[in-house]
Amino acid sequence: MQLRLSKLGQRFTAKSGILELMEDLGHAMSGGGDICMLGGGNPAPVPAVQQALRRRMAEILADGGQFDRMIGNYDPPQGNTAFIDAIVQLLRDELGWAVAPENVAVTNGSQSAFFFLFNMLAGEFAGGEHRRILLPVVPEYIGYADVGLADDLFIASRPDIEMLGKNTFKYRIDFENLTVGDDIGAICVSRPTNPSGNVLTDDEVRRLAGLAAARGIPLICDNAYGTPFPRILFADIEPIWNEGIIFSMSLSKFGLPGTRTGVLIAAPEIVEALACCNAVVSLASGGVGATMLREWLVSGEALRISRDVIQPFYRQRAERAVEWVHEHMRGRIDYRVHTCEGAMFLWLWFPQLPITTYELYERLKARGVLVVPGKYFFPGLAEPWDHSDQCIRINYAHDPRAVEKGIQIIVEEVQRAG
């Protein structure tokens, strides 16, 4: 049989950054061997969190009715009703948001939520109109780039780069050169940002929300690493929401990536549209993550774990990894590291790198070090930018010995390239 693929089939089977990343991650995780896993976005196995999750699962198993409902019933297309009620109460009590159940949708992971959102709000419209998603600052999350059903789905704006010292920098939105045209269907940011660990200030978010409101379009804020959970966040910020903002959360970085549970806080018409998408594509969202976390949301245990266990764990590992970067790179290569304000990555910039970061990625992979080349994190730029091929993303959160060893090998390969 000769497989013939439609245009849609060709689009989703073509080589992409997220496919390559997940393939490399899967092979490395299943193959064993001495691999320095600095690629991928899998959360670290935090021992205290894993123990607590095992206890929680044991409670569910001991309660036959709860277990049977979790695995034996479809939830409504909007998501598990009790879980949604717990999310609503948490956001009201903890953040003071004026939310109701009709403002919350549960999806099979954040990735599917962004697939729905981007293709509902941008792409081809009746009458031949074409709308795009504006990324007001890049680099941005690798998983956004390939979810569009239409070509030319993104337009992006270069950031201002602020040096915070000789070897540390921070991205800021260049509002002076940021244009929200008539062809923009939504503005999208992640906070904290994957890959750079950048955290937009409250003022930046409010300015973006104002620009979106003036155009009558939503601002999408991806909060997969932020507050109130899982709180892999090291900057003092305020979570900001109103019905003009689509606020995305996830259970993945809390330690439940396998349950594929995303949560969207949005205007009722957006929630209703997402529920329709769930029904057509998945019938319903999976119920395991919702059941696992619901009681912890009600009791406050999810917030306690995020504050007292998850955040200190990642902060300590981030600080240690940054120390290793400076220790092993200073005086040996020309480098910059983005200030780490959250998420689980370090973003390394080599201004004088004479090869592409994809070539560097291949060299490192041959030596047992997995990273992610920077070129995948800049969708929508109108013109080439050298900076986009001078950066790599590394995950600092796993085995510290592998992280330090990987950083040392990165230094060696950058030296060899020069």
Eight-state DSSP code of residue 138: S
- The pLDDT value given to residue 252: 96
Question: Could you give the CA distance from residue 362 to residue 374 in angstroms, rounded to a whole number?
Answer: 13
Q: Does residue 217 lie in a domain region?
A: yes
The H or E element containing residue 303 is helix 301-305
Structural domain for 201, as ranges: 69-300
- Select from 275, 300, 325 the last residue of a domain: 300
* Model confidence pLDDT, tens digit, residues 288-337: 999 999 999 999 999 999 999 999 999 999 999 999 999 999 999 999 99
Q: Is residue 60 part of a domain?
A: no
> Structure tokens of 125?
């419209």
**The pLDDT of residue 413:** 97
Q: Whole-angstrom Cα distance, residue 342 to residue 8?
A: 35
Q: Which residue has the tokens 């080439």?
A: 384
Yes or no: say if 24 and 370 are a contact pair by the CB < 8 Å rule. yes
Residue 215's pLDDT band (cuts 50, 70, 90):
very high
In a shared domain, residues 157 and 227: yes
Do residues 205 and 87 share a domain?
yes
Domains in the chain: how many in total?
A: 2
Share of the chain above pLDDT 90, in %: 85
pLDDT of 19 above 80: no
Q: Is 300 left (phi over 0), alpha (psi -120 to 50) or beta?
A: left
Answer whether 188's CB lies under 8 Å from 154's CB: no
Instruction: Note whether 160 and 186 are same-domain residues.
Output: yes
Please check whether residues 117 and 247 belong to one and the same domain: yes
* Residue range 262-291, pLDDT digits in tens: 999 999 999 999 999 999 999 999 999 999
Q: Does a structural domain hold residue 59?
A: no
- Tell me what the pLDDT averaged over the chain comes to: 94
Predicted pLDDT at 7? 81
Place of tokens 């979810």: 147
Q: Are residues 318 and 281 in the same domain?
A: no
d(CA 139, CA 387): 10
Q: Are strands 154-156 and 130-135 parallel, antiparallel or unpaired?
A: parallel
Same domain, 32 and 101: no
224 & 241 share domain: yes
Of 300, 330, 354, the one marking the end of a domain is 300
The CATH code of the domain that includes 293 is 3.40.640.10
**Cα–Cα distance measured from residue 329 to residue 412, given in angstroms and rounded to the nearest whole number:** 9
Q: In this predicted structure, what is the pLDDT of residue 382? A: 85
pLDDT in tens, 365-413: 999 999 999 999 999 998 999 999 999 999 999 899 999 999 999 999 9
At 84-125, the pLDDT tens digits run 999 999 999 999 999 999 999 999 999 999 999 999 999 999
Asked if 143 and 245 sit in the same domain, the reply is yes
**CATH number of domain containing 325:** 3.90.1150.10
Instruction: Examine the domain organization and report whether 133 and 101 are in the same domain.
Output: yes
| Residue 30: predicted pLDDT | 53
Residue where a domain stops, chosen among 276, 300, 324: 300
